[in-house]
Amino acid sequence: MPINCKEIPEQYARVQENLKKLNLDGMLAISLENFYWLSGALVTTMKSIPDRIGAVLSILDEDPVLLTCSIEESLVVDATWIKDVRTYEEFKQSPIVVLADIMRQKGLGKGRIGVEMDYLVACYYEELKRELPEVELVDVSVLYRKMRMVKTPREIKILSHAAFATEEAMTRTFWEAKPGDREIDVLNNMIIKTMQAGGSQPSGSFGTGPKSAVAHPFADESPLRNGDIVSVDFGACFDGYYSDIGRTAVVGASGERQNRIYQSLYDVQRRLIDMVRPGVKACDIYFKAVELLHAAGIDLSLSHVGHGLGLSIHEEPLLSPFCEQPLLENMIINIEPFYVTDEGYHSEDSMIVTKDGVELLSTFADHSKIIPITNK
């Protein structure tokens, strides 16, 4: 049967292209991220209650079928473009058995079916094999990550708002904070502002003084002390998509050494951002970061210098020495050099790869200097 949907989302067109390319008869999306990416239905309980499986069955040259727990049916039907929505009754029916039955109905009791091997737990994998012994299950975990690298217009809109809103919440929080405030109170103010801007599930690392040199420190009741560096790596979830911004502040006036280190880090980040354009390899940005930081007398304190961003905080491509993926138009990436001595210095920004270069998304305020936290 041909595809009957009048308007096929860009995501499903990508799936169909890869089904043909890999000689697959069908493909399953079972993780929350790929289920949402394909269907448009954000079923958050798929993560908080992992047994509550949902699946999108993509079929070569046919309309997809969506399977969800009956308790989530109304949410899914209201959100998805997929017309064929099936359900199973939680605790009474095995979702894998129901899914296998749907596949047989669709003529997929044999053939090659793509599955997310890095998500499907062993017991479900074994159950699916028992139900469909003549099916060859092919790992498409990497394929899904590759398909999600280039963002759709809707994704770009959400992620653009997420980056700007998160940076604004962080910056305004620093402007309002005072020496002597507790770390946890400052972080909670950041969380409140982010949620007021539409974010959910806010989280972040927050460290002052020696704690700023820890990769992901927890905020506690420690006061902000004059002269201390404050390193924050913070984000939230906006309509299923994540923000991730890193900033460095100082309590009171910054010292000459602190200014020199931060200025070097910031200048390197700007030069890396200037490199961004379609065709540049992810690893080339990493190697340039190492070269520039070394020339500035500091070192990279991470095993990467950035990453893709979307339905997960770290998506493809990873700006690491091993990733030769060329940047593509409409990727959204973060660049985040991080340097640790006795203190930690961080500058992380989100950007979209454009046709001719790059467009920064976290542009609420200038952070070319360490952000001061002072008595107003």
Q: Which of 102, 130, 147 is the last residue of a domain?
A: 147
If asked whether residues 205 and 331 sit together in one domain, one would say yes
* pLDDT per residue as tens digits for the range 322-367: 999 999 999 999 999 999 999 999 999 999 999 999 999 999 999 9
In a domain, 69, yes or no: yes
Would you state the pLDDT for residue 142?
Answer: 96
Residue 200 lies in a domain: yes
Number of domains, the chain: 2
Main-chain phi, psi angles of 245, to 5 degrees:
-125, 140
User: What is the pTM for the complete model shown?
Assistant: 0.95
Long-range contacts of 40-45 (CB under 8 A, 24+ apart): 40/9, 40/79, 40/80, 40/81, 41/66, 41/68, 41/75, 41/76, 41/79, 41/80, 42/79, 42/239, 42/240, 43/68, 43/72, 43/75, 43/76, 45/69, 45/72
Taking only the tens place, the pLDDT of each residue in 6-56 is 578 999 999 999 999 999 999 999 999 999 999 999 999 999 998 999 999
Return the CATH number at 45: 3.40.350.10
pLDDT of residue 110: 94
Q: Do residues 121 and 302 make contact, with C-beta atoms less than 8 angstroms apart? A: no
pLDDT (0 to 100) of residue 292: 96
User: Are 209 and 324 within one domain?
Assistant: yes
> CA-CA distance, 289 to 245, in Å (whole number)?
18
Rounded CA-CA distance 182/220 in Å is 7
> Is residue 5 a part of any domain in this protein?
no
Q: 223: which DSSP letter?
A: B
Cα–Cα dist 20/6, whole Å: 21
What pLDDT does 300 receive?
A: 87
277 and 356 in a single domain? The answer is yes
> Domain check: are 223 and 358 in the same one?
yes
Mean per-residue pLDDT over the chain, rounded: 96
Q: Which pLDDT value is given to residue 8?
A: 83
pLDDT tens for 179-192 read: 999 999 999 999 99
Tokens of 365: 């305020």
- Domain extent for 40: 10-147
Task: Check residue 5 and give its pLDDT.
Answer: 59
Give the CATH number, domain containing residue 249: 3.90.230.10
Distance CA 52, CA 173 (A): 38
Residues 6+ apart with CB under 8 A from 303: 320
- What pLDDT is attached to residue 4? 64
Which one of 107, 124, 147 terminates a domain? 147
Q: Which residues of 296-335 are buried (b: 16+ CB within 10 A; e: fewer)?
A: bebebbbebbbbbbbbbbebbbbbbeebebebeebbbbbb
The parts of the chain modelled with pLDDT lower than 70 are 1-6
Asked if residue 68 and residue 42 are part of one domain, the reply reads yes
Please check whether residues 232 and 320 belong to one and the same domain.
Answer: yes
- Do 219 and 351 belong together in one domain? yes
Query: Cα(168)–Cα(161) distance, rounded to whole angstroms?
Result: 10
